[in-house]
Amino acid sequence: ALLPPPQSSSSTPLPFRQPPPPPPPAQNQQQQQQQQQQYPPPADGKGPGQGQYPQSQQPLPPGYPQSQQGPGPRGPYPPSYGPPGQGRPGMSPGYAPQGMAMQPWGMVTRQQQEDGMLTEMMRRFPPGAIDRDSARRFLIARDWDMTKATHLLHEHLNWKRSFGCPVDPRSCLTELLKGKTFVHGHDRLGNSVIYHFSRLQDPSHRDLQEAVRAVVFWAEQACKSSKGTGKITLVFVRDGATAANADPNLGRQIAPILQSNFPERLDRVLVYPSGPGFRVAWQAVQWVLDSNTRKKIQPIVDQYELLQYIAPENLLAELGGFDRFQFSPSAIPGINWWDLESHHTKQQQQQQQQQQQQ
């Protein structure tokens, strides 16, 4: 009943499959040339090249359907992604899934899809009509919906021609000389700062269309002077204002113009001072606004809160800073002494005509 002795491994070798012999070197080179012609490598080493990608080369994440094939940011995009704005379920239009790394065959990043949409947006307008930053702002304003952003940008260009942009300051000089609104300095982020003193508003003695042009003029100047951010900070000063200074008609006229033609420009609104009455009204009104607009409005109780947004050397002394700036006609860009003299003469003539009529 003894077990038989183990056999030697040299007498009975274990079965195994021999690997196939390597192909000749010439055959290897021929196959590599065919693969490079059929599937070219990336053009810049960072993204897909200019060739068509086979369906077999597209590993799809679980649960993601196929999309149609079409042009992408760096050439034809793979069937796994489809055109910008037709992403996976649950994705924002024009965005690639967050956290998905770029794969060798056609997986594009979010930045690459945005660049592709910007290029397509620029191609839809005549050369020089818009710049890349403007195209990005209008796309962001419409949640990267190409159709809606293109329509909004077309309306903006038509509005600029009909409104007469850039605004000539001589066309609204009466409102500009009141000094109720002006651009001065920058906040801590580099945004241009627009100061508006509501106590200087006088709805009973102003031309509505001229007041609208004055607001658009200062909005244009603020966009030009921003330090790379392209954003604007509005300091709305309520100190000394009364109910007689309220101008709701001007607000109703200017709000749609700024919303449609200056999208993604406003960074924040600092309302100072915000007393108990304003805070109670704000608590009731803020929920009517969308979340993005609600976040931009910051009620300010005292001057120390303003210093969190604007450095003391850039904040007006009236508001607790060190800047001794005082508004004067020289603060209006594009105005010289001859324009002021002509305007003064015209105002005197109008006053004399009114006195004669009375």
The string of pLDDT tens digits covering residues 52-78 is: 444 444 444 444 444 444 444 444 433
For residue 241, the one-letter residue type is A
pLDDT for 155? 96
CA 2: distance to chain centroid?
88
The fold of 169-350 is: Phosphatidylinositol Transfer Protein Sec14p (3.40.525)
pLDDT for 358? 72
**Longest Cα separation, the chain:** 141
Structure tokens given for 235? 């300091």
For the segment 273-283, the average pLDDT, to the nearest whole number, is: 81
Whether the model pTM is above 0.85? no
In a 3-state reduction of DSSP, which class is residue 38? helix
pLDDT for 280? 78
Per-residue confidence at 227, pLDDT binned at 50, 70, 90? confident
pLDDT for 5? 55
Q: Is the pLDDT of residue 203 over 80?
A: yes
pLDDT for 214? 97
In a 3-state reduction of DSSP, which class is residue 75? strand
Q: Are 205 and 247 in contact (CB under 8 A)?
A: no
pLDDT for 18? 59
Higher-confidence residue of 105 and 338: namely 338
CA 27: distance to chain centroid?
54
Q: What residue ranges of the chain are covered by domains with CATH 3.40.525.10?
A: 169-350
Q: Is the pLDDT of residue 279 over 50?
A: yes
Q: Is the pLDDT of residue 167 over 60?
A: yes
pLDDT for 95? 41
Higher-confidence residue of 278 and 358: namely 278
Q: Is the pLDDT of residue 250 over 60?
A: yes
Per-residue confidence at 87, pLDDT binned at 50, 70, 90? very low
- Mean pLDDT check: name the lowest of 40-49, 74-83, 335-344: 74-83
Alpha helices in 57-207 (DSSP H): 110-123, 132-141, 146-163, 173-176
Higher-confidence residue of 18 and 118: namely 118
Q: Is the pLDDT of residue 162 over 80?
A: yes
Q: Cα angle vertex 240, ends 236, 246, to 5°?
A: 65
Rounded percentage of the chain residues whose pLDDT exceeds 90: 54
For the segment 267-296, the average pLDDT, to the nearest whole number, is: 82
pLDDT for 276? 81
Per-residue confidence at 41, pLDDT binned at 50, 70, 90? low
Higher-confidence residue of 98 and 217: namely 217
pLDDT for 328? 94
Q: Which residues contact 164 (CB under 8 A, 6 or more apart)?
A: 171
- Give the relative orientation of helices 110-123 and 132-141 as an angle to the nearest 10 degrees: 110
pLDDT for 65? 44
Higher-confidence residue of 300 and 277: namely 300
**What is the spatial distance between Cα 335 and Cα 329, in angstroms, rounded to a whole number?**
8
**What is the spatial distance between Cα 148 and Cα 157, in angstroms, rounded to a whole number?**
14
Q: Is the pLDDT of residue 153 over 90?
A: yes
Higher-confidence residue of 300 and 285: namely 300
